Structure 1
């Protein structure tokens, strides 16, 4: 029998990106954000169909028919995607409620998979990202999917869809139920391809043995801080627009944190800063009775002394919320 290194080919075990347990909850949450229920009601009235007979979803497999999936695709391409992407960016970098929790980027990744599944005509490169190296939604996905709680198979799928071979092309849908699950893979990931590799806790396979360690700080802002100092872009005394050292200057009237040389620099930085701007009340509220439970850091460190598994249990049920919220 040839060794793994000789043929370097394996069936990537583990469920696909829509089979990770929380995908249905995430899709339901995204359906609500996209206001698909209103679209369904409108179609039922127009076509005089019985209530509940029209089914639209961001997952095309859940749509009632290929025609229904195409209507969802057109709805998304009509500028709805821009709204959804902006919401995911804000939720990831600056969650202000329990409903904003993205499960370490899981929900934004599912949105990316939905976009590619429907074969949306809007390129991922043209959808809004955040800042620095994550200025487009594609760059944002590339930056976060590695630490999202996905199986190895799902991560291989996302890597292939974003970077190739055979990457996503606008207008051509991807069937993530099969796409990329049989692939030529790097021999170095063989330790992840045993019978346990399809099970994950906090994004790591159960057979994880220290390889591919990822620093939590490598993903820009897990808790959505306000200042550039917190974002590790520079010390807090830098101008948000031009990064010039400041001792004095304008201060954001809302968060009382981000500094600027002048109004022009503030205007240049408004898109980035708006996504993460927090008031002092927002910050104070984060340390309230329940708020600590929805902070990403709570789950990163295994909050409540129960470790990663305890965090996931609370994430799925203890807070009355699904993985998609």
Structure 2
């Protein structure tokens, strides 16, 4: 089995480095990092201490009801809007768009999202040998054309058996299980970041260093400052001063900024989330799911 940090870690769907990085891009495109912060703020967790991560790939979701929350969010129409805007234009796709779309559908099925029939039928057509041969001829280096036989079979089975509302399992071994099967016995271990992937470097008794993928990095580990609480500037975290109120985003009527410059800097992070739902729709969604991240006894898990 290949080293996850350096390439693919399995032959199944969503088990390659390219698919992992593409899923991370979708996480940003759907504003899932900011969604986590907003939900955290909605329950009064101003330090963002709730242990969670939201991703379109169910395997990378963690925290209380994280899969259900992401599924509900995408099912509000966010997923369908994204598809209509980026992939349902009827034009000939580039070598990357076909691969990205395949990863998107495979991921949202892992969450159990409502899969629009147009997305399902389009992926079915893309699995046809004639289509794949065409992609290979036009784009010989396309990841879509080079998809492994096992991954293709898994997609075919998923499209045949998938039901909305039921997270789909492709049967792949989890990352932690893959690592445990290797049964390493290192003399020391050090965690570092390698191209947006968290890697643990294991030093073996013979001095050889073996890197292993251990999961996606946290916001702080990649230099991203938490974007909430919502009563301070989203960029520099400055609060309101006497005689000077924070500016409010004209789109979502929610995020605040101390200056136009700070708003401009934060727009790359905020734009997808800002446009996902109207202010009233977002309020309704947050009110409807915030109970899902509160522990029954009223306590919250925190980072050590």
TM-score category, normalised to shorter length = 0.3 to 0.5
* TM-score, scaled relative to structure 1: 0.41
* TM-score, scaled relative to structure 2: 0.44
